């Protein structure tokens, strides 16, 4: 009788009904971090500009233009600059025409990215229709940082490429300012350019910064499952630039407040910048214990996860419109389940992965986020074998291959209306260990169901959310967002087709309140529309609630908050 109800490793079936995901909390923290990166209060960075004087010039023809000499033009080939004045040669020209030629040459420089370069008509005696134009190829030769603790955060070295470039190019300045603005604990609030003297081409870049040494966030929601939760709490603490400039030491903790025995999760991570071009190296270690609160509790069932990974990332592309980050990682995970009888399964998983994160702000009012990840299992360091009787999945190989994709688009329809479109998918080379499967249900896809309601080696899902935002001037309430959504997904195991898998669909509506001091509350109702969950066979609607808050602290300034 005991063996009949005690859990056992998954054998061949069309899909799984796990009740919880061993990596569920880890994914939740990653999702919260991604959400802060995409929708948090880091406004679009404004690039500093130099105002161009537009004086009036006489349009009365003065002489026939025979020749133009360009003084100081080195960055752009002369044959390209000739296009600016070729139509004027051999014709009567005025002061306005000469100003137009200088402006056209300046436009060619700016189109090539040389934002501080320009052409002027210097005072001169014109003889024989020969005119001299002075090209001033501008450069940034000095940087002034305004704000407390800027040296502690390693901001100045990131501006080395800007100072080294002559003449200055806008893409380089834009990239380095965005890298600074993306550094943990740093925000650029304003920028300015000041020219030394008149028409010198030598500029000072002034950057106004806000910094914070400590970041904390707290969250509470009921998006878990009946087996683990549904109420779960989340806490994050991060120290910015404490050991070396630009580093981050972070701790994530999570539990189920109603019964802390069900979930205990902790993750410690540390990463550091490498060079001045956006590269980073990092490592993290986590430990979790899950004791499901369903029938498995009768048998003292516990799932333990121990994991360690190292990673490195580079940023090949960084601009206002698009960003590309590539991350390579190696991971070591030991996942085991046991009960009063003894071990249920033990998975020893060794992987390498390559992840590409791409952001694009298109010309149609949309912000797009695409992540593509390839993960390869390795048969090293004691990895589980395919014929291991104690693996979580019959036939699972340590040398599995997985390709995953996640896409989100935020599309503005008007000042108040917008749409969020999300999709995700995974395809695997064969049977996967339970912790590597594709899960549906909960916060991302399937909000009408409990977390990790179904899973499979392969899967795909989509979500559409219509939003209405309204800003308020109340001190305790800065705005709210009304939304409605529909989501659907399916999961199937290796050896089965898409049509053989388990699918779920749900819909709902809610409101998000944006309260003072980064406090947010979300209240919603979600109804399952298709799949009948074992703990909700009548497909009753679920009331969803989440609450989150974040703090940026500056203890060295005796301030509770920095921003």
pLDDT digit string, tens, across residues 63-92: 889 999 999 999 999 999 999 999 999 989
pLDDT at 482: 98
Question: pLDDT tens-digit profile of 104-148?
Answer: 999 999 999 999 999 999 998 888 899 999 999 999 999 999 988
* Summary mean pLDDT of the chain: 90
Decide if pLDDT at 6 tops 70: no
User: Which of the four pLDDT bands, split at 50, 70 and 90, describes residue 202?
Assistant: very high
Compute the distance between CA of residue 410 and CA of residue 466 in angstroms, rounded to an integer. 10
SS3 content of the chain, % helix, strand, coil (to 5): 15, 45, 40
Q: Is the peptide bond before 167 cis (omega within 30 degrees of 0)?
A: yes
Question: pLDDT tens-digit profile of 151-173?
Answer: 899 999 999 999 999 999 999 99
Decide if pLDDT at 447 tops 50: yes
Which residues does 183 contact at the CB level (< 8 Å), separation at least 6?
A: 153, 154, 155, 158, 246, 273
User: Which of the four pLDDT bands, split at 50, 70 and 90, describes residue 336?
Assistant: very high
Q: Is the peptide bond before 449 cis (omega within 30 degrees of 0)?
A: no
For residue 393, the 8-state DSSP code is B
Q: In three state form, how does the secondary structure of 80-126 look? A: HHHHHHHHHCCCEECHHHHHHHHHHHHHHHHHCCCCCCEEECCCCCC
For 2-19+301-557, give the CATH class: mainly beta
Domain with CATH 2.40.160.50 in the chain: 2-19+301-557
User: Which of the four pLDDT bands, split at 50, 70 and 90, describes residue 1?
Assistant: very low
Report how far Cα 480 is from the mean position of its chain's Cα atoms.
Answer: 23
User: Which of the four pLDDT bands, split at 50, 70 and 90, describes residue 4?
Assistant: very low
Q: Look at the chain and count its residues.
A: 563
Which residues does 176 contact at the CB level (< 8 Å), separation at least 6?
A: 158, 159, 161, 162, 276
| Bridge partners (DSSP) listed for residue 274 | 279
Decide if pLDDT at 277 tops 80: yes
């Amino acid at each position: 009788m005991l063996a009949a109800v005690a859990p056992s490793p998954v054998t061949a079936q069309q899909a799984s009904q796990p009740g919880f995901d061993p990596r569920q909390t880890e994914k939740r923290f990653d999702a919260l971090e991604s959400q802060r990166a995409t929708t948090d209060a880091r406004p679009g960075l404004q690039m500093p500009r130099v105002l161009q004087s537009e004086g009036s010039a006489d349009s009365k023809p003065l002489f026939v233009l025979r020749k133009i000499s360009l003084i100081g033009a080195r960055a752009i080939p002369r044959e390209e600059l000739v296009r600016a004045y070729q139509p004027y040669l051999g014709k009567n020209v005025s002061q306005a025409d000469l100003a137009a030629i200088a402006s056209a040459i300046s436009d060619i420089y700016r189109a090539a990215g040389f934002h501080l370069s320009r052409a002027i008509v210097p005072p001169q005696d014109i003889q024989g229709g020969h005119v001299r134009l002075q090209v001033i190829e501008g450069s940034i030769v000095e940087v002034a940082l305004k704000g407390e603790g800027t040296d502690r955060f390693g901001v100045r070295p990131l501006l080395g490429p800007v100072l080294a470039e002559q003449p200055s190019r806008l893409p380089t300045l834009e990239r380095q300012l965005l890298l600074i603005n993306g550094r943990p604990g740093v925000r650029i609030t304003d920028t300015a350019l000041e020219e030394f003297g008149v028409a010198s081409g030598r500029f000072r870049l002034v950057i106004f910064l806000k910094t914070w040494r400590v970041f904390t966030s707290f969250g509470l929601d009921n998006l878990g499952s009946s087996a683990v939760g549904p109420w779960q709490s989340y806490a994050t603490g991060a120290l910015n630039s404490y050991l070396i400039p630009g580093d981050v030491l972070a701790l994530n903790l999570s539990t189920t407040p109603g019964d802390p025995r069900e979930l205990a999760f902790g993750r410690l991570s540390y990463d550091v910048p490498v060079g001045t071009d956006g590269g980073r190296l990092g490592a993290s270690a986590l430990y979790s214990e899950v004791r499901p609160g369903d029938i498995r509790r009768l048998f003292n069932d516990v799932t333990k996860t121990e994991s360690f990974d190292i990673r490195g990332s580079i940023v090949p592309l960084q601009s206002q419109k698009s960003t590309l980050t590539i991350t390579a990682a190696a991971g070591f995970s030991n996942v085991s389940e046991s009960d009063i009888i003894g071990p249920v399964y033990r998975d020893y998983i060794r992987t390498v992965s390559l992840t590409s994160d791409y952001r694009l702000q298109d010309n149609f009012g949309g912000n797009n986020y695409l992540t593509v990840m390839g993960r390869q299992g390795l048969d090293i360091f004691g990895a589980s074998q395919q014929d291991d009787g104690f693996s979580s999945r019959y036939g699972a190989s340590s040398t599995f291959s997985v390709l995953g994709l996640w896409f989100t688009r935020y599309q503005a329809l008007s000042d108040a209306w917008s749409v969020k479109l999300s999709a995700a998918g995974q395809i695997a080379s064969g049977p996967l260990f339970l912790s590597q499967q594709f899960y549906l249900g909960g916060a991302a896809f399937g909000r009408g169901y409990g977390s990790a309601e179904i899973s499979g080696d392969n899967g795909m899902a989509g979500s559409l959310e219509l939003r209405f935002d309204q800003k308020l001037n109340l001190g305790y309430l800065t705005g709210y967002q009304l939304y409605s959504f529909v989501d659907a997904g399916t999961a199937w195991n290796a050896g089965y087709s898409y049509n053989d898998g388990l699918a779920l669909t749900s819909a709902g509506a809610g409101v998000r309140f944006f309260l003072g001091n980064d406090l947010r509350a979300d209240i919603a109702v979600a109804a399952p529309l298709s799949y009948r969950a074992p703990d909700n066979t009548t497909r009753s609607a679920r009331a969803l609630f989440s609450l989150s808050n974040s703090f940026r602290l500056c203890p060295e300034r005796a301030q509770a908050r920095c921003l």
